Structure 1
Amino acid sequence: MEVVIASTDVLTGLAAGAVEALLRSGRPVVLGLATGSSPLAVYDELARRHREEGLSFAAARGFTLDEYVGLPADHPERYRTVIEKEIAGRVDFQPGAVRGPDGLAADIPAECSSYEEAIRHSGGIDLQILGIGTDGHIGFNEPGSSFASRTRIKTLTEQTRRDNARFFDGDLESVPRHCLTQGLGTIMDARHVVLLASGTAKAEAVHHLVEGPVSALWPGTILQHHPHVTVLVDPAAASRLQLADYYRETYAAKPAWQGL
């Protein structure tokens, strides 16, 4: 696990650069796309590079991380709608190249199984963008989630619903109680995970993620067992890290050829 502590602008450039390196590699690329506030600046930067520098997504595919259950197809907070607005519709993905789990499916277990199969059929996710919740969840894998879990329905905790109420005009009752989410086992299959976090509200979760014991109480800690994880945090989100100075020294001394 690599930890990079820097300003938001620097972190945004690093994450976008990792995506760009894949897209310019000349091979088909599969991206894992998260919603929430953490990736938004990265999507803005990728859209700018597409618009101004010719960065193309035409050979790429995308899979969204999760989706609310029961939100109407035209609801502005439906995650497929959010991804379309924030990144897919701003670049040149081919029609149908970005897929999310269907929170309106009549047969939820079958939909989850189909989504897993679609990811496998694509060759697997090359780079998964993640944020982290204040309670340590990644995707919508709430505390207590199985480390072996695959895409499935989950019940959101009250804390997660409170955190997300800002997207529903502050109305907690408008936040769905259920979601579909890639499981922790699914996320762990991605070849590179890039997790972004900013602000003091995320400091405790980042501390457990990086330096705590691996525990289902803090689901993101499973990433300590992933072979290629990059944690990008601003100074506020890094404020609880005991080894923050070491992470800074390590990144400053990193050989240029290693990349992210």
Structure 2
Amino acid sequence: MKVKVFKNAEEIGLEGAKILATQIIKKPSSVIALPTGMTPLEMYKNFVSFVKTGILNLEKVHFFNLDEYVGLSPDNPLSYAYYMNENLFSKIPSVTHEIPKTDAPNPIKEAASYEERIKKAGGFDLCFLGIGVDGHIGFNEPGSEFSSITRVVKLHPSTLERNSKQSGQKVPTTAITVGIKTIMKSRRIVLMATGKEKAEIMEKALWGSVNQDVPASILQIHPDLTVLLDEEAAVHIQRHVVP
């Protein structure tokens, strides 16, 4: 595990974009998992700038999103499909990008199909993750089985409250998420966190016991994990990190 501490979210965003761009240069046919939320916004902003320089060829890259609310059409502003289009895909050349089709008639079948599409693509070469204050990754809430694959999940009340507050509207109570087992098969994982509200959970996730009550704790055993934190999120873990 590599832990890197940065001054602020802007610096983390730049580092994340560099990691993403380097992966694509190294392997133009990379399969990459992407998150949503506030944390990756700076990464997407910087990545768009890199793409506009012409140094990256995205023709063979295959992007997958980690999750999506059930019941929302892609043009719904609450949907993650809308978020990704607004913050990334409308700003770069057309790329292969998949996100669970949660307005499909049968979300359970769609979840199974999404898992198969990930497998068919060869699994994730690189997976970017955020983390919830309760330790969730993707929408794998506390109590999620480490053996879980892509599935329909019911969201925890704290997640619903936080996400509804951020969006200013009530969000759906269920979602499709890539499972923990699928995430752990990624050849490289980059976990990003910013802000003092993430400080306590980052210490539990990275140096606490590995247990399903803190889903992100399983990342401790991944063979290629990079953690990007700002100073506020890193305040409780400084004693664990060798300068």
Calculate the TM-score normalised by the size of structure 2: 0.95
Query: What is the aligned residue count?
Result: 242
Q: Secondary structure at the match of 2:26?
A: coil
Rounded Cα–Cα distance in structure 2 between residues aligned with 1:127 and 1:26 = 11
Change (3 A) 1:248 1:93: farther
The residue aligned with 1:109 is 108
Q: Name 1:142's counterpart in structure 2.
A: 141
Cα separation, 2, equivalents of 1:126 and 1:88: 20
Residue 80 (structure 1) aligned with residue 81 (structure 2): yes
Match of 1:126 in 2: 125
Q: Any conservation in 2 of the 1:5–1:248 contact (CA below 8 Å)?
A: no
Is residue 196 of structure 1 aligned with residue 197 of structure 2?
no
**Any stretches of 5+ residues in structure 1 without a counterpart?**
250-260
Q: Distance in 1 between matches of 2:162 and 2:225?
A: 25
After superposition, what is the alpha-carbon deviation per residue over 1:161-212, rounded to whole angstroms, capped at 9, x for unaligned?
111113431x4xx211000000101111111111110111111111111110
Amino acid at match of 2:209: P
> Shift of the alpha carbon at 1:60?
0.6
> Who is 2:228 aligned against?
232
Matches within 5 A, 1:155-166: 155-166=154-165
Identical-pair percentage: 35
Is the counterpart of residue 28 in structure 1 residue 22 in structure 2? Answer: no
1:209 is the counterpart of 2:205: yes
Secondary structure at 1:185 match in 2: helix
- Contact kept? 1:214, 1:221, Cα under 8 Å: yes
Query: For residue 14 of structure 2, what is the aligned residue in structure 1?
Result: 13
The equivalent residue for 1:258 is none
- Map of 2:98 onto structure 1: 99
- C-alpha distance in structure 2 between counterparts of 1:216 and 1:43, whole Å: 30
SS of residue matched to 1:21? helix
1:109 Cα deviation (Å)? 2.0
Structure 2 residue identity aligned to 1:5? V
> Which ranges of structure 2 fall in alignment gaps of 5 or more residues?
none
Task: Using the TM superposition, name which of 82-91 and 206-215 deviates more.
Answer: 82-91
* CA offset digits 1:85-119 (Å, max 9, x no partner): 1112211243xx10011111212222111111111
> Is 1:40 matched up with 2:36?
no
Tell me if 1:2 matches 2:2: yes
* Residue identity matched to 2:5: I
Alignment map for 1:56-71 (pairs within 5 Å): 56-71=57-72
SS state at 2:241 partner: helix
Helix, strand or coil at the partner of 1:179: strand
Runs of at least 4 residues of structure 1 off by over 3 A? none
Q: Do the aligned residues in 2 keep the contact of 1:56 with 1:92 (CA within 8 Å)?
A: no
Residues 1:26 and 1:239: Cα distance change in structure 2 (over 3 Å)? closer
Q: Quick check: 224-233 or 8-17, which moved more? A: 8-17
Name the stretch that deviates more: 131-140 or 70-79: 70-79
CA distance in structure 2 between the partners assigned to 1:55 and 1:44 by the alignment: 15
Say whether residues 1:180 and 2:176 are aligned partners. yes
Over the residues paired in the alignment, what is the CA RMSD in angstroms? 1.4
